Amino acid sequence: MANPNPVRNCAPFPKGVQSRPASVNVTAEMREAVKIARAKTPKAMQTLIDLLDNNSASIRLQASQAILARVFGAPTQPLKIEEGNTTLEELPREQRMQVYRDAAARFEAAIAAESEAEEEAERAYRIEPAPLKLAADK
């Protein structure tokens, strides 16, 4: 069966243009760092296992959580809202979309406030040059 949504009128990338942005390209240094980290993985896991016998309950708990997260992945938590502890997935689509819009608005307001604070900090530390006095001004 043919693809129902074929991509039409797409030209190949011109020579010298990459299909991925530079921020995604993996450098040789990054590959080497991953190789070194993978080589140390058994030792790191053994350290976590050894910490399970530590006298401190908090260290044992953290080691247990780290091991479980690496073996089974981090547990997911459904988003709860105040009205009757309903999960977001259980809401009707319109209510769910309103929750998303409200969250996006709060996020945008937080970013705007942070930008204003950064601009204010820059203004506070900006040094204005003193006016030049020329010999003719005396």
> Could you read off the pLDDT of 38-92 as tens digits, one per residue?
999 889 899 989 999 989 888 899 988 888 888 888 777 665 555 566 677 777 8
Could you tell me if 32 and 61 lie in one domain? Answer: yes
Could you tell me if 60 and 90 lie in one domain? Answer: no
Could you tell me if 101 and 120 lie in one domain? Answer: yes
Cα–Cα distance, 94 to 88 (Å, whole number): 11
Could you tell me if 59 and 95 lie in one domain? Answer: no
Could you tell me if 66 and 87 lie in one domain? Answer: no
Host H or E run for residue 29? helix 28-51
Could you tell me if 92 and 119 lie in one domain? Answer: yes
User: Is 41 part of a structural domain of the chain?
Assistant: yes
User: Is 132 part of a structural domain of the chain?
Assistant: no
User: Is 9 part of a structural domain of the chain?
Assistant: no
Cα–Cα distance, 92 to 83 (Å, whole number): 13
* 99: Cβ contacts below 8 Å, ≥ 6 apart: 81, 88, 91
pLDDT of amino acid 13:
65
User: Is 136 part of a structural domain of the chain?
Assistant: no
> Could you read off the pLDDT of 110-136 as tens digits, one per residue?
888 877 777 777 777 766 666 777 776
Q: How far are the Cα atoms of 15, 18, 19, 129 from residue 23, in angstroms, in the given order?
A: 19, 11, 12, 38
pLDDT higher than threshold 80 for residue 93: yes
Total domains in the fold of the chain: 2
Structure tokens at 81: 């809202």
User: Is 17 part of a structural domain of the chain?
Assistant: no
User: Is 91 part of a structural domain of the chain?
Assistant: yes
pLDDT higher than threshold 80 for residue 32: yes
Query: Contact at 8 Å (CB) between 19 and 13?
Result: yes
Range of the structural domain that residue 49 is part of: 26-73
pLDDT higher than threshold 80 for residue 20: no
* 67: Cβ contacts below 8 Å, ≥ 6 apart: 45, 48, 49, 52
* 64: Cβ contacts below 8 Å, ≥ 6 apart: 52
Mean pLDDT of 5-11: 58
pLDDT of amino acid 77:
67
